[in-house]
Amino acid sequence: MAATLTIRLGEQDRIILEKAARKHGTGLSAFIRDLAEAEARRLTREAIRAEGERVVSYLEQNPQAQDELETYGTPIGELP
């Protein structure tokens, strides 16, 4: 089971979020949970992309790594 998270919202923010939740047919807690989970997934993808960019940068700058790459295969991103 997920851990409980308690947040404080200003009255105006709560009103806005409650209206949005009703439009989506959910309660406020479920709506905010969905928003938070979507953002967590976005941050995870962003971190994965950043790590991939770091690896590509290393490969571009390191001749030994380039040779090893040629020996052991082509990155998936370069496949047709």
pLDDT tens digits in sequence order for the chain, 80 residues long: 788 999 999 999 999 999 999 999 999 999 999 999 999 999 999 999 999 999 888 888 888 888 887 777 666 666 55
Extract the tokens encoding 52.
């991939």
Query: Is the residue at 37 inside a domain?
Result: yes
Q: Which residue has the tokens 């105006």?
A: 12
Query: Is the residue at 6 inside a domain?
Result: no
pLDDT at 78: 64
pLDDT at 1: 72
Q: What is the CA radius of gyration of the chain?
A: 22
Query: Is the residue at 5 inside a domain?
Result: no
Query: Is the residue at 31 inside a domain?
Result: yes
Query: Is the residue at 78 inside a domain?
Result: no
d(CA 1, CA 36): 16
d(CA 16, CA 38): 19
Query: Is the residue at 62 inside a domain?
Result: yes
Domain that holds residue 63: 11-73
d(CA 65, CA 10): 53
- For the entire predicted model, the pTM comes to 0.69
Query: Is the residue at 79 inside a domain?
Result: no
pLDDT at 80: 56
Domain count, the chain: 1
pLDDT at 56: 85
Query: Is the residue at 32 inside a domain?
Result: yes
